[in-house]
Amino acid sequence: MRGLLLIFLVLLPVSAQAWTEAEREQILSFGPWPPEAARDSSNRLSGNPAAIALGAALFSETRLSPGGIACISCHQPQKGWGDGLARSKGMQQLDRNAPSVMNAHLSRWFGWDGASDSLWAASIRPILDEREMASSAERVAATIRSDAALTCQFEKVAGTAPQHLVDEAVMVLGAKAIAAFQETLTSGRTPFDDYRDALARGENAPYPEAAKRGLKIFLDSACAACHTGPSFSNGEFHDTGLPYFMQNGRPDPGRYEGIKRVRANPYNRLSRYSDDPDSGFTVRHVALLHRNWGEFKTPSLRNLRHTAPYMHDGSKATLIEVIRHYSELDEDRLHVDGEAILRPLRLDEASIRDLAVFLETLSASNVPDAASLERWAEEARKCRK
Amino acid sequence: MKAITLALLGPLAASAAAAPAGACLNAPGTMHAGSLAVTPVPSPIPMGKPFALQIVPCNAAPERLTVDAVMPAHRHGMNYHPKVIKTKNGFRAEGLLFHMPGEWEFVFDLRFMDGRSERITHRIVVK
């Protein structure tokens, strides 16, 4: 009998992961999911159903750009609200991967370099960027004013017709409506969420053994230092050891330039267009540091199955490639005076596969789709005075 | 500078354990860092969210006080510059945010009217 018990105990770590109290606490910190809906106080249209409908219609409005580029061109529902390209393409070829806008509203900073401090400011940025939509406040306002349904819906949202507002005010309200729509793009629950919640209740839930082993690697390595909380992102910026140089040979300054841009952004949370300048903590206090050069935002690890390729430059086609990058990290490339967080993981092939299986369990099968966009947009398109 | 900080850590760790004498506030969550009573707002300090510190000197009040925080194990500080303002009872530092879990070290630099300066450090673990 004792012999059998010993055999059972030896096998136990393989068949059932026993977590320490500290590990359990850390696992619970990755939930609950979905998080409670919170309105953006800097956007008075946040959570407003009429604004969400207007925003959905504008999200896919190709007339906003002289080149027929809409938000949806780079944030496609069927591609995890990204575009599936390594480096995105607007009016011109761009330098970075289009980040998914799914769950984006849970961020503190927006874009790989955090050049925007709100979702509505992040929606204005590509509209005005010559390489992306190459549009203008004049063009956005003219598009809304020239379309009866958009004008009707805008008036319902703003309380006044777009003809009575200056172009810039129309563009900002349009962007706030686009942000209100994007706030609805919360992904569904995942196998990990079910496992995490069962653990919180002191119960067992079916969860692949490989995923448990991968989760253990995730907790023991530096991964969980930056990929924290229910979004699996601390929302801040780090040097991940990728090349500084872009395809055209120029360096990408990343966060260093992003901080300068968000401070100078006429649409930041401290600006006259913000509905709550007191919410501008981040831009008011953000520090510009030498180590910010070449740092990029920690992406969420949710829904990776839907959002390949990966990294800010889209240079990794698969999760296995991403894990290999961190496993074989070139330490000489990292800042000598930068953070001392990353070390090569030095994982064997089986561990690489386990970590990938764990990351796969962070993807929801139920994610917002094109139909959800269309339902909202249809409401705006039907608007009549 | 690093050597000075490290030298201070020993006695400060001891003083942090015992409440200092004087008229220091001792609100829930108050930390005693050397001659300072430090109360986070909110308390406990939330990971990844802004917080402030109410700082009450227990002995002579410094003329000037600056606050910073670092993660010694990760060799980095905060991504935000706190702003310190004088209050009726001491100081209030606003604009702090701990963006990673783990051990953080507060660094308080005090400058007194008579030209003396003092550095006080205090470590906490954020989850």
Complex prediction ipTM? 0.88
Of the pLDDT bands very low, low, confident and very high (cuts 50, 70, 90), residue B113 is very high
Q: What is the pLDDT of residues B35-78, one digit of tens each?
A: 899 999 999 999 999 999 999 999 889 999 999 999 998 889 99
> Residue B39, SS3?
strand
Please state whether beta strands A237-238 and A296-297 pair in parallel, antiparallel, or not at all (unpaired). antiparallel
Average pLDDT of A86-92?
A: 97
Alpha helices in chain A (DSSP H): 2-15, 21-28, 49-59, 71-74, 119-128, 137-145, 148-158, 167-182, 191-200, 209-220, 223-226, 255-264, 281-285, 319-327, 349-360, 370-381
Report d(CA A20, CA A334) in Å as an integer.
Answer: 33
Q: What is the pLDDT of residues B114-126, one digit of tens each?
A: 999 999 999 999 9
Q: How many Cβ atoms sit within 10 Å of the Cβ of residue A382?
A: 11
Partner residue facing A234 (CB), from B50, B100, B127: B100
Partner residue facing B95 (CB), from A225, A281, A339: A281
Contact (CB<8Å) B95/A285? yes
- A interface test, pick of B66, B79, B80 with most A CB neighbours within 10 Å: B79
Residue A34 near residue A229, CB atoms below 8 Å: no
Contact (CB<8Å) A229/B99? no
Q: Does residue A4 have a pLDDT over 80?
A: no
State whether residue A226 sits within 8 Å of chain B by CB: yes
Average pLDDT of A134-157?
A: 98
Residue A81 near residue A100, CB atoms below 8 Å: yes
State whether residue A225 sits within 8 Å of chain B by CB: yes
Chain A residues closer than 8 Å to B82 by CB: 285
What pTM was estimated for this model as a whole? 0.90
Average pLDDT of B109-114?
A: 96
Contact (CB<8Å) A229/B47? yes
State whether residue B41 sits within 8 Å of chain A by CB: no
Residue B6 confidence (pLDDT): 32
Residue A192 near residue A211, CB atoms below 8 Å: yes
Partner residue facing A225 (CB), from B80, B83, B100: B100
